[in-house]
Amino acid sequence: MTKRTLGLLVSILALGGCVSELDSPDGIDDVGVVPGGKADGGDYSACELGAVVSWLNEGPSVDTLKEAGVHTRAARNLVAHRDGADGVFGTEDDDLFDDIREVDDVSWVGPVAMSQLVEARADVCAAGAAGAEVIFSPQDYEASHLARMVALIDASTRSVDIAMYSFRDAAISDALERAVARGVSVRMIFEKANDDRRDPEGSASARLEDAGIEVRYVNKIMHHKFAIFDGPRADLAFATEGTLASGSGNWSNSAATRYDENTLIVAGNAELNLRFQREFNHLWDNGRLFVWNESIDSVTHVAITDADIPDDPSVDAIFTSANFRTYESSRYGPTFSVIRGENEVSDRWVQLIRGARRSIRIASGHLRSRPISEALMQAQADNPELDVRVYLDGQEYLSEWSHDRQQRDLQDCLVEAGDSEARQQDCMDTGFLFSYALHTEGVPVRFKYYAYRWDYSYAAQMHHKYMIVDDEILITGSYNLSDNAEHNTMENDTILQGAAFQGVIDGYIDNFDALWVTAEEAGLYGALMSEITETAGDFPIVFESMALDWDQVTALKDAIRDHCPDINSPDYRENPGRHRYCDR
């Protein structure tokens, strides 16, 4: 008997034995959870409490709640609260529960009812929450996603399949060599192989093949950052045993210790493992050989059909590869070619945005997707109470003048396109930044701002690519919010929801909320503005990162221009890495 069950039994016995239907083991105003989410008499996990909220919002009847063990008064009052004045679930006056606090505030829901609700959903959290985690960057290498990848490679016994845009980490290279040496089969689809093939001697791709790892590339930009460890490559039965790692972070030191990144790791989820394995297999079968180590044995994989993939309502995975057809070029070999009008990933983002009821949080390095940007502006216009917040990298800042110029360029492009719908669509999709448009439409936008002029040599990039909807749905992966990502690049997004993943989703919420106020408490913005405008010495034009809105960035850039006459000189423009301070 568990501690919770024993506590529940004692509470019921204390009532004196027989309990009529309207008697309650809880008082009318008893508290079932205390500040911090801890139960009165027991600690419940975020998953357990989230499972209760999700279940109640799915519409169980009073009888269903009672059959699950919830006492009568709590069951009746919970349903009455949720269903609104008309007493019917699924109508406009429904008052769904926002969180466990709202559940606890219902009359006659106290520690006993809370225990009954949690016990009724215990199997949900036992099914998979422990198998999901997220690692955020930047942090020390030892705690980074790179160190975690080394551990996952070292633990692999059968196979490792890697699809990676950028890979520069010696510890992972060593781990892969160890894996091959002990008989683990390793394959890699590597963006850099497309360049390395022209001069393979000593290249990163050649070193991988020298270690016994077969390397391929595709004719589009391979922007994935995922790996499948002991997955269902050779046997679909391994779908429940494999581990998936995917996110925004490349396998590089900058991604681990310098940039804002996230790497999601999910163990044993059959649907995700099968969907990502099928994506890898699709790219592998339609990829091009990196010709170097001819002694590597060719590796096969089993086919994965839609019928093989379970329908887990808490997860999904989407890929831009759905926007391409494949064919065999007589000159180049396997080839991906874009299908006009297909928008697999942006369509899902738009769908999620349109379905938001309470909040949308987006952390993205870029915002250059017209459908996603227009959906955000429309969502804010349709529901001014919707809490929409968008956090971008500083390179996405756009002045009013620059916005007006790109508007003129767009109009010129449309005129040149004439009556061609395809050319008109190209004009609408390409090369447009939307941060200023969102700002003017009242959508709160902030930038991770760290330099007057962006340059890769010092950029502490905000490299996330995730969205959280209503604190309940997460979409995250490699997908940049741009038409280029949709139609010229191989990308992925994973979607998580439901109680089993609420703990992970909460981690993303905490990450976003911290990013949104970066350096605010320390007062760095005011201090920097004072240094520029009130002192006579040199001042930094590359500085510690701050979360600034459009007006703040504009004021800062104006101040730097006013007090640094050389800021736009040819030398400063052409050699930004040499100028981290303004000399005056």
Domains of the chain: 3-126 (no CATH), 129-312 (3.30.870.10), 315-332+340-398+433-483+491-584 (3.30.870.10)
The b/e string for 302-315 (b: 16+ C-beta within 10 A; e otherwise) is eebeeeebeeeebb
Region 216-223: what's the mean pLDDT?
98
Instruction: State the pTM of this model.
Output: 0.80
Residue range 159-184: average pLDDT? 97
The full DSSP string for 97-144 is: --SHHHHHTSTT--HHHHHHHHHHTHHHHHTTGGGEEEEEESS-GGGS
Residue 7's pLDDT band, with cuts at 50, 70 and 90, is very low
Residue pair 145/519 in contact (Cβ under 8 Å)? The answer is no
| Contacts with 271 (C-beta within 8 Å, 6 or more apart), sequence order | 309, 310, 311, 312, 315, 316, 317
CB-count burial class (<10 Å; 0-12, 13-18, 19+) for 390? buried
**pLDDT of 54:** 74
Using CA atoms, how far apart are residues 218 and 288, in angstroms rounded to an integer?
Answer: 6
Residue 5 has a pLDDT of 42
Task: Burial-class residue 328 by CB neighbours within 10 Å (0-12, 13-18, 19+).
Answer: exposed
Of the listed ranges 12-21, 399-408, 446-455, the one predicted with least confidence: 12-21
In angstroms, the CA 137 to CA 143 distance is 9
Cis bond before residue 334 (omega within 30° of 0): no
DSSP, collapsed to helix, strand or coil, labels residue 496 as strand
Whether the predicted pLDDT of 380 surpasses 70: yes
So what's the pLDDT on residue 124? 54
How far does Cα 140 stand from its chain's mean position? Answer: 21
**Do 283 and 189 contact (CB within 8 A), yes or no?**
yes
Residue of 445, 562, 485 lying closest to 223 (CA atoms): 485
- Give the count of beta carbons closer than 10 Å to the beta carbon of residue 427: 19
Q: Is residue 152 scored above 80 in pLDDT?
A: yes
Average pLDDT for residues 511-524, to the nearest whole number? 98
pLDDT for residue 99 is more than 50: yes
Per-residue confidence band for 2, with pLDDT thresholds at 50, 70 and 90: very low
